[in-house]
Structure 1
Amino acid sequence: MTLTKIFPKRPLGFHFFFSSACLVCLVIQPVLSQEYEWPTDASRLMTSSFGEYRDDHFHAGIDIKTWGQIGYQVFAIEKGCINRIRVSPYGYGRAVYLLLDNGLIVVYAHLSRFSEPVEKLVKEEQKKQGRFAIDKTFLAGQLPVEKGELVGFTGRSGTRDPHLHFEVRINENTPINPLLLGYAINDQIPPIVNGVAVSPLRYGSQVNGDFQPKIFSVQKENDGFYRLTETIQAWGQIGLSVSAFDQANGASNSFAVYRIRLYVNEQLIFTTYYNYFPYDITQQIELDRDYRLHRWGWGLFQKLYCDIGNELPLYEPASIESGTLSCWDEVEKSPQLQQSIPVDGNMLDGSLDFEKGFHEIRIEALDYFGNRSTVIGTLQMIPLSEINLMDVPLEYFPVKETVEADSIVGIRLKRDFMDDFIRFCVESNIPLPTHPLLYIQRGNGIKTPILLWDKSDGTYVGSAPLNSNTDGQMITELHIISQQGLKYVVRDTLITHTIDPNQSSSILSEDRRFQITFPEGSLYRPVLGTFQQKPGSHPDKVIDDEYLFYPQDVPLKHSVTISIKIDPDDHDVDKLGIYQIGDNGHASFLGKRWGNGTLSVTTGSLSQYTVLRDTVPPEITTIRPAPNSHIRDLTPLISVGFKDTLSGIYGEDHYQFFLDSVRLIVEYDPINNLGFYQTDEPLDFGLHTLDIMIEDQNGNKASRKSQFIIDPE
């Protein structure tokens, strides 16, 4: 039977009346009843599961353990034909695609080589195209395979560690969980739970006396049963997420859990299943997982609610904000008084309302084979004013003198841009005779006090709403009284910008040198942010500053464009590039497009950027056969090690080897910085010359000439 049904893309607000598990079963029921061959003789152990987190995408299959070795056999799981072959140094490496007679598409990736007939076709195509990387499709039935037939051998092409990546799709765009085909894995181990996160989602919301997410520890009481170590105290609208992973017998690898359920007061509130997803929205994993917590370095947490912009077919119910929990008083329920940023002109709310007071929560994490772990805990819906915190009074004892200052030793003011509010945090490691005061002043000239709450550890927190009226200048004014009676006033100014996802917009840094352009549809929700400039520290810097956009914990739906103006007196622009600066100071080359005195590049995340000059050529580190060596092998492996420290080496045109003036089709191993070519026809006895040319992405070149001699035996 041929599979023709394609899963529809779920629009925002659409409600599924079937679970994703049921939907998959209904669609592929005719093929689920078949018995499929296991894809390799390497093992029946997984090293990665379907739906695991990868940067900006889901893991689309399962990885099968090959014991750190290459060369195990790979088999067709059912009768069909080869319809595609891809070869690349990156991604899936060597991959073969089978179209089964029942309509499923099966992918085997990271192979070391293909079966002999396919390997011959690949080499012919590589010689025809004159390059290593190819992508070739075949007509249906052109290369038939039988169930259990050898199609290749396991390897590590395109990746670091040897394993077989095995993927099943119901069409070109939709991978499904391969375990749905009925494969048995030895697994009696329940998932392991690390913790539960609770996040305030709207202005006016709080979690345990603060306006930022909080991680709650769990205590394991026995296998598969955990308890929160403290009560969750919250108000407003909150979302829960869980950090959990699975394991199976016979391997120490960690996997994604298959199903997660959230119960409140014994009522099932929300469920996630990892059965399938469309490739064209795989980047929405950043909405399925908590991107903010991940960027903050707090770990990987899976949300127990459907966030704004999330179109993934993984949830029950599937309405936006389903799974979120709310408790407001009557005044706070008014969207006008909440003053938060609307989405598509509406205050979306698929939240469930709960009464003030205590509620029992239960989270269940299950693997595919039904092993379950349960977390229980207590949620208390309680206003901040009723928690044992004190709001800061607005009066002071007498002040001797007022001092204007850029900063105060021992005092730190932090701002966190949340979804529709700013969190302010004043941290003091010096004794204060009275509480700090905090004001903000916006474009209307009105100075507004920010209510601060004393967390009793020298920390004071407050929040202010973000909306379209907050665009422009925002002055923050902090008042501190010292023990000597001096009043210190510290002011700073931000320029804030609202970016509407429904229209294209560009924002400029204060010095008008740096610009980010957000195309229409590049965001999931409105974002209010700001720029910060700080002195650059990289030795190859071209401009004085590094530019940061805040918040950086906002996932992008589509790429944005970074543009930086270059000094018109700079006459060596070919050596310039835009780089992302990591938290550890490491510079990563993003690219460059030059035009009208500006460098520009597209990027899929918000970070810290600068322009660097790369004038250092790559380094050629090793050559085999060794220069001037004598060998007896008529079909030697030719390999060259090379590396670059800044812009990097990418693309076959950037590494070229010529043996006796004939260009070789070089396989590149980017993990080990190695290019190699296995001669497949015997060379002549005598002298042979190898010419090597390496070029980085900024045009710096390195070249070497090496000779070796093949001696007669």
Structure 2
Amino acid sequence: MKHFYISSLFALITLTSLHGQDYLWPVDLPRRISSNFGETRPRRFHAGLDIQTKGVNGIELKAIATGYIWRVRVSSSGYGRALYLKLDDGNIALYAHLDRFSPILENLISLEQERLNSFSIDKYFAPGNFVVQKGDLLGFSGESGGAFGPHLHFELRDESNRPLNPLTNGFSLEDGRLPVPEAISITPLNKDAVINGSPLPQIFPLQRIKTREYAFMDTIHVFGEVGLGISVVDHMSWMNNKFNIYGAVLSVDDNEQYRVEFERFAYDQSKLIELERDYSLQRLNDGEFHRLFADDNSHGLAFISKQSNGKLALSPGYHRVSIKLYDALKNLVNIKGVIYQAPPISIAVSEIERAKTSVKFRIEPKGIPFPITHFTCYSFKSKGFPEEAIKATETSRDGNGMIVTLPLEDIDNKVLQFIGINNQGAVSSPFHTSINLAPADYMTVDLDLTVRHLEESVVIQVEVESYLDKIPELTLRNSHFLDLTDLQQVSPTAFITRPLSLEEFGGTTEIVVSFHGSPVRESWFPIRSELSDNNKQTAAVSPRGSCSIQASPTTFYNPTVYWVEDINSPVPVEGGTFLTKAYQLQPFDRPLQDSANVAIILPNYIRDFSKSGIFYYNKNYGWTYLPSRFDERKWMYFTSLKSLEAITVIQDTIQPLIEHIFPGNGGSYSFEDVQEIQASIRDELAGIEGDEAISITLDDKKLLFEYHPIKKEVTFRLKTPLESGDHNLVITAEDQVGNTSSEEIRFNIR
């Protein structure tokens, strides 16, 4: 195993920087950035720096070195106005979101737009056409395209057009602040893995020991193959924005296991961010974590060292863990901890004596004979809400177990959760009991079912509304029956199965939850799961068959069981009407390698399906349109998507809103007053796809306008003053389901 010391690590960073040119900072302002290289963006890495321009447009942009303008691209989306500068050293500098180019280039682009009769252009230049010297004016900063405010998006690419980290390739910033690690995650990587008594991924906080040193809060007990992750933020001396780190190194017992450095990558690797970051934890709202392990799919990512693996299949016993985190300016912190590899353990807890003010319990190990030497106890309300940790007033040894005395006032009418720790450091699964608290009636308690897809297995969880002292049993019905009688109570109101292999869960048509007693209660949950196949196309349908998802051999990165759930109470839609039920595509926290195709059948009674399509629910923007196709013969809508979401068919009959038009209707202006034509165009549900869905004419002549998709504004800059007299302006917009609006403006130039 290749082993790096931190001194050589920093030498590597320094050497990389020295090989870069002494580039000029592209704006004549203090060196301030709001985003750096490798940050998270939807399904991609941020490929450069977002350089601050004091919150305004129009800052001069300078050539960072001698070279020539290689490419100019103009669009209403993405990078907006972008300029590519090929440098004499072979690298490429990209300037994006410009407000305008230099005057000579602006005139040339305008002529090209008129020649093509299109606002959007993509033009390349030969080496001798536009030679520039270091410091020459290239254009002016702006917020064109998909920019969320004025700034310069700047990229540095190598001769193969691969993005480089500018901060280690010719640029530098003043920064003395250290990365701040927040938590570690541990993920089970095989069916037998257990972490502190649980088969589910776990998150552990960290404690700061010294300025540059952090530590695990306690020894972590694992069994089977696991992978670590780290949640970390980096700030800079002059700003509290959350920046990406430059690198991370995981070592176990002084042997390097995994190394990631955000130095360069290829654009076709962008989607692998959903493997380098922990996609599941992010989708579950548990935070952003860098995974410190790789699989066959992420191994090709240029950021990850070729020698890296990071999957920890440790030998029995204690292992020293070190995680080094550093930014591009050599600020480094180190995290240390201990992982104990041993089989999982469980405990039994029994009440042995009750006094007026206290209750005495015996805690003893089950199976493995190592004595229990420590314990923790937490109190919960009957609905499962945690309250506090309970401190014992007295403890003593009792063979391989413990006798503990707890104050009655702290535990009366509460559910108690006990966790035992043996003399080797192994942590037990939890044990639950109650004091003077009647459990819920298993015949009437509300219950629900959730399915959690792990790396190589599936766990089913039964959730009840109040504490139960009766353990449910599950039966999976498919081509055969699989009885699951060993559910683990993980909280007062939740029970989980053992991890099931994908083959065990794939093909399931129904899950039956049973409580055995007198009488017996059974609850049925229909599900039609399907196991993906790397050699052929497969499909899963909703319980009643109205929604389907189709997976090709490359839809998922790894073998995955997938299914479709009915949503009984979807988030309401504003300005539209549901034409079908809503469905949740599962597992929603599993990343997709390629698109999944979905279809929804319209109910037979729906005859008017005009202005409708498939929408998915976005937690930030609400119901969001997906480009859809309707097959009238099959009476169903089709679409594809790159993540598993909640979907439905919505009818949207509201027209786009065109307002804030300048010049205004009936207005009279001097020619100096009208330098631009502007309008706001909004459509709150289906939305405007882009400038192709908008038309603007002035005196019957088509205008090559700019559309800003974030601001929802259109702008046309007049190249020559308008002639005196009456003018007629017509703006038309169409949303993505076919609703149209048009405004006609008549104004006069004096």
TM-score of the aligned structures, taking structure 1 as reference length: 0.85
In the alignment, structure 1 residue 266 sits paired with structure 2 residue 299 = no
Aligned AA (2:303): L
Aligned AA (2:742): S
- Answer yes or no: is the 8 Å Cα contact 2:549–2:564 preserved in 1: no
- The correspondence for 1:630, drawn from 658, 663, 668, is 668
1:662 to partner: Cα distance: 1.6
1:556 to partner: Cα distance: 1.1
Partners of 1:29 and 1:431 in 2: CA distance: 59
Name the counterpart of 1:47: 34
Aligned AA (2:590): V
- Answer yes or no: is the 8 Å Cα contact 1:86–1:133 preserved in 2: yes
Aligned AA (1:246): D
Partners of 2:577 and 2:216 in 1: CA distance: 49
Aligned AA (2:186): V
- The correspondence for 2:77, drawn from 90, 93, 109, is 90
User: Secondary structure of 1:463's match?
Assistant: coil
Unaligned runs of 5+ in 1: 1-14, 327-353, 394-401
1:172 to partner: Cα distance: 4.9
Partners of 1:460 and 1:498 in 2: CA distance: 24
In the alignment, structure 1 residue 504 sits paired with structure 2 residue 493 = no
Partners of 2:640 and 2:607 in 1: CA distance: 24
- The correspondence for 1:138, drawn from 125, 133, 147, is 125
RMSD value over aligned CA atoms?
A: 2.9
1:615 to partner: Cα distance: 1.6
1:317 to partner: Cα distance: 4.6
Partners of 1:561 and 1:152 in 2: CA distance: 43
Name the counterpart of 2:116: 129
Q: Are the structure 2 counterparts of residues 204 and 435 from structure 1 closer, same or farther at C-alpha, using a change threshold of 3 Å?
A: farther
What whole-Å deviation, never above 9, does each CA across 1:349-380 have from its counterpart, x for those lacking one?
Answer: xxxxx232332222111001210122222222
User: Secondary structure of 1:117's match?
Assistant: helix
Q: Are the structure 2 counterparts of residues 630 and 619 from structure 1 closer, same or farther at C-alpha, using a change threshold of 3 Å?
A: same
In the alignment, structure 1 residue 561 sits paired with structure 2 residue 597 = yes
Name the counterpart of 1:476: 511
User: Secondary structure of 2:104's match?
Assistant: helix
Name the counterpart of 1:239: 227
- Answer yes or no: is the 8 Å Cα contact 2:464–2:493 preserved in 1: yes
- Answer yes or no: is the 8 Å Cα contact 2:449–2:460 preserved in 1: yes
In the alignment, structure 1 residue 462 sits paired with structure 2 residue 501 = no
- The correspondence for 2:724, drawn from 674, 685, 697, is 685
Q: Are the structure 2 counterparts of residues 104 and 649 from structure 1 closer, same or farther at C-alpha, using a change threshold of 3 Å?
A: same
Output aligned runs, 1:165-184, within 5 Å: 165-184=153-172
Name the counterpart of 1:543: 579
1:599 to partner: Cα distance: 2.1
- The correspondence for 1:323, drawn from 298, 310, 325, is 310
Q: Are the structure 2 counterparts of residues 45 and 82 from structure 1 closer, same or farther at C-alpha, using a change threshold of 3 Å?
A: same
Partners of 1:583 and 1:617 in 2: CA distance: 24
In the alignment, structure 1 residue 357 sits paired with structure 2 residue 317 = yes
In the alignment, structure 1 residue 369 sits paired with structure 2 residue 329 = yes
Report the structure number with the largest CA radius of gyration: 2
What whole-Å deviation, never above 9, does each CA across 1:526-577 have from its counterpart, x for those lacking one?
Answer: 1012211224654534533112221011111111222223457755545121
Unaligned runs of 5+ in 2: 348-419, 421-427, 433-440
What whole-Å deviation, never above 9, does each CA across 1:251-270 have from its counterpart, x for those lacking one?
Answer: 22221000101122333221
- The correspondence for 2:269, drawn from 281, 284, 287, is 281
Output aligned runs, 1:297-312, within 5 Å: 297-310=285-298, 311-312=300-301
- Answer yes or no: is the 8 Å Cα contact 1:648–1:696 preserved in 2: yes
In the alignment, structure 1 residue 186 sits paired with structure 2 residue 169 = no
In the alignment, structure 1 residue 37 sits paired with structure 2 residue 75 = no
Aligned AA (1:296): L
Aligned AA (2:96): A
User: Secondary structure of 2:498's match?
Assistant: strand
Deviates more, 1:81-90 or 1:652-661: 652-661
- The correspondence for 1:590, drawn from 626, 640, 647, is 626
- Answer yes or no: is the 8 Å Cα contact 1:111–1:155 preserved in 2: yes
Q: Are the structure 2 counterparts of residues 147 and 355 from structure 1 closer, same or farther at C-alpha, using a change threshold of 3 Å?
A: same
Partners of 2:250 and 2:4 in 1: CA distance: 18
- The correspondence for 2:566, drawn from 533, 536, 541, is 533
Name the counterpart of 2:405: none
Aligned AA (2:36): S
Q: Are the structure 2 counterparts of residues 87 and 172 from structure 1 closer, same or farther at C-alpha, using a change threshold of 3 Å?
A: farther
Partners of 1:379 and 1:580 in 2: CA distance: 42
In the alignment, structure 1 residue 161 sits paired with structure 2 residue 149 = yes
Q: Are the structure 2 counterparts of residues 528 and 605 from structure 1 closer, same or farther at C-alpha, using a change threshold of 3 Å?
A: same
- The correspondence for 2:342, drawn from 341, 361, 382, is 382
1:25 to partner: Cα distance: 8.5
Q: Are the structure 2 counterparts of residues 359 and 73 from structure 1 closer, same or farther at C-alpha, using a change threshold of 3 Å?
A: same
1:29 to partner: Cα distance: 7.7
User: Secondary structure of 2:688's match?
Assistant: coil
- Answer yes or no: is the 8 Å Cα contact 2:16–2:168 preserved in 1: no
Q: Are the structure 2 counterparts of residues 176 and 479 from structure 1 closer, same or farther at C-alpha, using a change threshold of 3 Å?
A: same
- The correspondence for 2:743, drawn from 674, 687, 704, is 704
Partners of 2:552 and 2:516 in 1: CA distance: 47
What whole-Å deviation, never above 9, does each CA across 1:647-680 have from its counterpart, x for those lacking one?
Answer: 1112323211212222211111222211111212
Name the counterpart of 1:220: 208
- Answer yes or no: is the 8 Å Cα contact 1:35–1:182 preserved in 2: yes
TM-score of the aligned structures, taking structure 2 as reference length: 0.81
Partners of 1:493 and 1:568 in 2: CA distance: 23
Q: Are the structure 2 counterparts of residues 576 and 46 from structure 1 closer, same or farther at C-alpha, using a change threshold of 3 Å?
A: same
Total equivalences in the alignment = 651
Q: Are the structure 2 counterparts of residues 193 and 84 from structure 1 closer, same or farther at C-alpha, using a change threshold of 3 Å?
A: same
Q: Are the structure 2 counterparts of residues 186 and 90 from structure 1 closer, same or farther at C-alpha, using a change threshold of 3 Å?
A: same
Name the counterpart of 2:639: 601
1:602 to partner: Cα distance: 2.0
In the alignment, structure 1 residue 488 sits paired with structure 2 residue 521 = yes
Partners of 1:584 and 1:135 in 2: CA distance: 32
Aligned AA (1:111): L
- Answer yes or no: is the 8 Å Cα contact 1:391–1:451 preserved in 2: no
Partners of 1:584 and 1:282 in 2: CA distance: 23
Give the percent of matched residue pairs that are identical in Structure 1 and Structure 2.
30
Name the counterpart of 2:481: 446
- Answer yes or no: is the 8 Å Cα contact 1:290–1:303 preserved in 2: yes
- Answer yes or no: is the 8 Å Cα contact 1:561–1:601 preserved in 2: yes
Partners of 2:628 and 2:639 in 1: CA distance: 5
Aligned AA (2:175): D
What whole-Å deviation, never above 9, does each CA across 1:448-500 have from its counterpart, x for those lacking one?
Answer: 22422334644433323223354323543333368xx6543323232210012
Deviates more, 1:552-561 or 1:415-424: 415-424
- Answer yes or no: is the 8 Å Cα contact 1:392–1:453 preserved in 2: no
Higher relative CO (Cα under 8 Å, sequence separation at least 6) belongs to 1
Deviates more, 1:626-635 or 1:177-186: 626-635
